[in-house]
Amino acid sequence: MANNPIRSNPSTVSGTMKPGDEAPAGSPGTGENICPACSGRGRIDGRTCTNCSGTGKVTTGIGGA
Q: Are 20 and 52 in contact (CB under 8 A)?
A: yes
Instruction: List the end-to-end C-alpha distance of the chain, in Å, as a whole number.
Output: 33
- Global pTM reads 0.70
Mean predicted lDDT score pLDDT of the chain: 83
Consecutive H or E run containing 61: strand 57-61
- In the predicted structure, residue 3 carries a pLDDT above the cut 90: no
Q: What percent of the chain has pLDDT over 90?
A: 71
**How far is C-alpha 42 from the chain's CA centre?**
14
Question: Which band of pLDDT confidence, cut at 50, 70 and 90, is reported for residue 15?
Answer: low
At residue 21, φ and ψ (nearest 5 deg) are -75, 140
Coil, strand or helix at 47: strand
- Output the pLDDT for position 63: 80
Please determine, for residue 55, whether its predicted confidence score (pLDDT) is greater than 80. yes
